[in-house]
């Protein structure tokens, strides 16, 4: 479980997130809000990439604030991250990008490449194994980022606005792929999005953020309030 206890983040003397408390990761969670609502900040706190100004974060019972660098690396092995900006390694080809997380976990190179090729086939990129990221379309980069995040079978998968910059058709295919690949996983899927409509029917829990605060925490079957015109402009 990913546990947040009265977590707050302050930057430049201004509170940008929180306070937020809750237990996440046992089921699929959608974090929805316009730009600058705190979605990315929340995910960075959950993964230990950003230390909160107040409160505590625990992953499977381990307090991130009490862990040294080696401890944080160990805990992060249970986390898969899909970045809004793709964050691919341009100097590595498609196969190299997906193989890297496995090598970092001590998987032998031959086995790592076999597992990576299997995952590339799952996301429809097996024919692009030797291509460089710069030669891929936006949708293909998203699929590559997903393959890299899930190849090591993490316990929790956090996808930070994976639909950003994609047309509706490509967005639908990425969502189908994301939920399809994760459906058999034993863990939690946490997905952030500016627009909750494409994902709210697929998630068990919906968390609506505005200006860093939780303004709605809805369970399965509930509906998020429609974003205001100001929110749509911001997103």
pLDDT per residue over 186-219, tens digit each? 578 898 888 777 777 788 888 889 888 888 765 5
CA geometry: angle at 209 spanning 22 and 141, to 5°? Answer: 100
Q: Is residue 220 part of a domain?
A: no
Q: Is residue 59 part of a domain?
A: no
The whole-number average pLDDT for the span 96-112 is 92
Q: What pLDDT sits at residue 185?
A: 55
Query: How far is Cα 34 from Cα 193, in angstroms, rounded to an integer?
Result: 8
Domain region containing 128: 89-153
Q: Is residue 103 part of a domain?
A: yes
Q: Is residue 163 part of a domain?
A: no
Q: What pLDDT sits at residue 232?
A: 35
Q: Is residue 190 part of a domain?
A: no
Quick one: which of 35, 23, 54 has its CA closest to 193?
A: 35
Phi/psi of residue 206, nearest 5 degrees: -125, 125
Q: Is residue 170 part of a domain?
A: no
Q: Is residue 46 part of a domain?
A: no
- Please compute, for residue 145, the number of CA atoms within 13 A of its CA located in the half-sphere on the CB side: 25
Residue 194 is classified by DSSP as: S
- Report the chain's mean pLDDT, rounded to a whole number: 83
The whole-number average pLDDT for the span 101-127 is 91
89: helix, strand or coil: coil
Q: Is residue 131 part of a domain?
A: yes
In the chain, how many domains are there? 1
Q: Could you tell me the pTM of the whole model?
A: 0.79
């Amino acid at each position: 479980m990913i546990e947040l206890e009265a977590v707050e983040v302050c930057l430049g003397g201004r509170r940008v997130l929180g306070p937020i408390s809750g237990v996440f990761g046992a089921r699929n969670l959608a974090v929805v809000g316009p730009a600058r609502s705190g979605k990315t900040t929340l995910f960075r706190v959950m993964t230990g990439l950003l230390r909160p100004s107040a409160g505590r974060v625990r992953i499977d019972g381990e307090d991130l604030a009490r862990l040294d660098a080696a401890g944080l690396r160990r805990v992060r092995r249970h986390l898969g991250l899909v970045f809004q900006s793709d964050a691919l390694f341009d100097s590595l080809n498609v196969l190299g990008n997906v193989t890297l997380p496995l090598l970092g976990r001590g998987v032998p190179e031959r086995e790592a490449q076999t597992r990576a090729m299997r995952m590339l086939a799952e996301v429809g990129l097996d024919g692009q194994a030797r291509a460089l990221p710069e030669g891929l379309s936006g949708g293909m980069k998203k699929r590559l980022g997903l393959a890299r995040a899930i190849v090591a079978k993490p316990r929790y998968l956090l996808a930070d606005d994976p639909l950003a910059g994609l047309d509706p058709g490509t967005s639908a295919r990425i969502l189908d792929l994301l939920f399809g690949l994760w459906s058999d996983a034993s863990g939690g899927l946490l997905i952030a999005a500016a627009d909750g409509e494409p994902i709210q029917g697929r998630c068990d829990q919906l968390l609506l953020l505005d200006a860093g605060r939780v303004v709605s925490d809805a369970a399965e079957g509930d509906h998020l309030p429609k974003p205001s015109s100001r929110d749509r402009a911001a997103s």
